[in-house]
Structure 1
Amino acid sequence: MARQREQADKLRAEHGIEAQSWYRITNAADETEAEVMLYDEIGGWYGSTADQFIADLRGVTAPNLRVRINSPGGSVFEGIAIANALRSHPGNVIVQVDSVAASIASVIAMAGDRVEMAPNSMLMIHDASGLCMGNASDMEEMAQLLALISDNIADAYTAKAGGTREDWRAAMQAETWYLPDDAVEAGLADVALAVPKSGEPVEQPEEEEPDMARAWDLAAYGYAGPDRREAPKPGPPAAKAEAGPALTIALADLLDDATVARLRAAAQPAEPEPVVEPETPAVPETQPVTATAGPDAEPEPVPDPWAAAVSGITAPKPDPWAAAVARFTQNTSAASSATEA
């Protein structure tokens, strides 16, 4: 780099050319933003080198840095040094392509935290190119070096816009030009600025990810939120009412004496009659022969002593409840029979 500066100084002295800077760093009207103008070729024999640009960049203390580019490109290595200096800058770097960012200038544009395309501006990418003098081996070595440099540049586009190195190498070999909307669609730029009205500055776009809570803040419409008054505290439980005297109604007070007497008599079960076990007759050892009246007369049946013994057991016992309610059922049957007749 020092050798290049010496050669540039010697060449300018021979031709009587004053050194011209291809960049300018100034403070914008806003104290929080500084402005960098890249409005010429990058590096070269007749301009300042990258180390001078970086030294001046260190003096910028504003929290925001706007880099405005209008450059056809230039030295690859000096452009990469500038891009890395912008990446390491502590402030927020916004790159604004004012007219054209071609070749290595497009790589510098990729170093911004945000890339904006001014109306009608363009961005161009292509493979690296260079000069070589020598034999075939020198030419082959130069070809390998240019391919390596082109891969390195393709990685810068990949880091910004995604995709693969092979995809960007294909676009670089085709020397692709992008208008503002095309650059945004390809991912090389973040926003295409709108065309400003006459006499008005270019409007800055809104934040990419606005605060949704702030966007839906209803305080601007007079809404103060839900009613957050403290709920009343529960009081002591209500006292239970004292139980009054129990009301007892006797059914006998509502009926006449005859009816009450009948109900009481019906409610009392009749005493069961004692069951008398029949005596078991003695079984004679020999059964007497029954005399017949004549030869054609049938013999009288001989009583079965076992049947007589168990007759008291098998006979049904009287139902005391049926006897108690018999008078009610008999009256009802009589009334029913009278009605039917």
Structure 2
Amino acid sequence: MNITLPGKAATLMASQRERAEKQREQLGIEARSWYRITNAASSDEAEVMLYDEVGGWYGATADQFIADLRGVTAPNLRVRINSPGGSVFEGIAIANALRSHPANVTVQVDGIAASIASVIAMAGDRIEMAPNTMLMIHDASGLCMGNASDMAEMEELLDLISDNIADAYAARAGGTREQWRERMRAETWYLPDDAVENGLADEAITTPKAGEPAAPDEDDEPEMARAFDLAAYGYAGPRWAEPEPKPAQVTLTFNLGESIDEHVFETLRQMVNHRDPAPEVAATPAEPQQVPDEPAEEPAPEPAAVAEPEPETPAVEPVDEWAAAVAHLTQPKPDPWAEAFAHLAIPQPSSSAATAA
């Protein structure tokens, strides 16, 4: 921003404008104004385009802009900015005209909002940054001719103007005047997300290309879920790992004779040979029951004897001396207590048989 001459960003734009004006003169094209106001963009919204340097030597003054702005009757006003800045006081007048307008003002940065153009952007009720746009802030600059006293006075004036501009940023984004002066002295540039993060903009908007669908709303969530349904590609769900096979059972076989010494083996053999035999229990034969006399029947003729074939003598298997020696070790030892009471389990003759006798 500057007072009499353009700053760094405006110098390049000024040279480009001079070349453009020469080309228009050669082609006989009428020069365009640095702004354009359209009241018929929509029945509800008018459009203002700031696409050049602001006021002073670079275009129309603020009074012309304000006079045209009074003709806007739409309830909403969209101000689109692509400007490197320009005259400080012309820009402040334009910003105040936007603040006092009855319409709801939305500022949209289309390219760059630098220097005093960034201050005009702060006048919007809502500030939007289009994709890849930039916003720049810096201290005021100017030109002075005179003695040392004039130079000192100019220094005070530039600091005062810069403090005034810092207040505009602080009123919009918060913070103190000195904090914003530090950023202005460093000539700070902001991308859309940076501007939103620092409070200089409300939204970093995205504009879809021609033919591309707009960003989906929350109501479109089921449609989005269907778009990512992998069943259309043959996906049938996660594959679970097969169960690991159980380990094979291991059978341990050992030779008893090799597991004990000869002394223990001989002791076991003597214990088996000298065990007490099981007591014999005399079985009492049951008396036969008397059956009433029945007429004798003639005995059936005995069938002729049939000679049975002699059984084949099984082949003699070789005797395993070691197996025969330890065979008794694998036989269960009788329980003396069970053998002593074994006769008690023998069934006695029934009472009906005794009565019949």
TM-score bracket, normalised by the shorter chain, equals 0.5 to 0.7
Aligned to 1:64: 76
Aligned partners of 1:54 and 1:103: how far apart in 2? Answer: 20
- Alpha-carbon deviations, 1:141-175, whole Å to 9, x = none? 00000000000000000010000000000000000
Aligned partners of 1:202 and 1:142: how far apart in 2? Answer: 52
| 2:82 match: secondary structure | strand
Unmatched segments (≥5 aa) in structure 1: 5-14, 207-341
The answer to whether structure 1 residue 43 and structure 2 residue 65 are counterparts is: no
- How many positions carry a matched residue from both structures? 193
Q: Are the aligned partners of 1:19 and 1:47 in contact in 2 as well (CA < 8 Å)?
A: no
Identity of aligned residues (%): 81
Q: Are the aligned partners of 1:97 and 1:118 in contact in 2 as well (CA < 8 Å)?
A: yes
Aligned to 2:100: 88
Aligned partners of 1:113 and 1:125: how far apart in 2? Answer: 20
| 1:45 match: secondary structure | helix
Aligned partners of 1:43 and 1:199: how far apart in 2? Answer: 38
Unmatched segments (≥5 aa) in structure 2: 5-21, 219-357
* Offset, 1:27: 3.1
Q: Which amino acid aligns with 1:144?
A: E
* Offset, 1:44: 2.6
Distance 1:165 1:46, change over 3 A: closer
* Offset, 1:194: 1.6
Aligned partners of 2:51 and 2:196: how far apart in 1? Answer: 22
Aligned to 2:127: 115
Q: Which amino acid aligns with 1:85?
A: A
Higher relative contact order (CA 8 A, sep 6+): 2
Distance 1:66 1:19, change over 3 A: same
The answer to whether structure 1 residue 103 and structure 2 residue 115 are counterparts is: yes
Q: How does 1:174-185 map to 2 (within 5 A)?
A: 174-185=186-197
Aligned to 1:198: 210
Aligned partners of 2:141 and 2:65: how far apart in 1? Answer: 24
Distance 1:147 1:91, change over 3 A: same
Aligned partners of 2:112 and 2:118: how far apart in 1? Answer: 9
Aligned partners of 1:45 and 1:98: how far apart in 2? Answer: 23
Q: Are the aligned partners of 2:58 and 2:86 in contact in 1 as well (CA < 8 Å)?
A: no
State TM-score, norm by structure 1.
0.53
* Offset, 1:69: 0.1
The answer to whether structure 1 residue 160 and structure 2 residue 172 are counterparts is: yes
Aligned partners of 2:196 and 2:154: how far apart in 1? Answer: 34
The answer to whether structure 1 residue 171 and structure 2 residue 183 are counterparts is: yes
Higher-Rg member (1/2):
1
Aligned partners of 1:68 and 1:204: how far apart in 2? Answer: 25
The answer to whether structure 1 residue 140 and structure 2 residue 152 are counterparts is: yes
Match of 1:54 among 66, 75, 91: 66
Shifted more, 20-29 versus 107-116: the winner is 20-29
- Alpha-carbon deviations, 1:290-335, whole Å to 9, x = none? xxxxxxxxxxxxxxxxxxxxxxxxxxxxxxxxxxxxxxxxxxxxxx
Runs of 4+ in 1 over 6 A off after TM superposition: 15-18, 201-206
Aligned partners of 1:178 and 1:114: how far apart in 2? Answer: 17
| 1:40 match: secondary structure | coil
Distance 1:50 1:153, change over 3 A: same
Q: Aligned-residue CA RMSD in angstroms?
A: 2.5
Q: Which amino acid aligns with 1:191?
A: E
Q: Are the aligned partners of 2:56 and 2:90 in contact in 1 as well (CA < 8 Å)?
A: no
| 1:129 match: secondary structure | coil
* Offset, 1:190: 0.3
* Offset, 1:47: 1.3
Q: Are the aligned partners of 1:122 and 1:179 in contact in 2 as well (CA < 8 Å)?
A: yes
Q: Which amino acid aligns with 1:140?
A: A
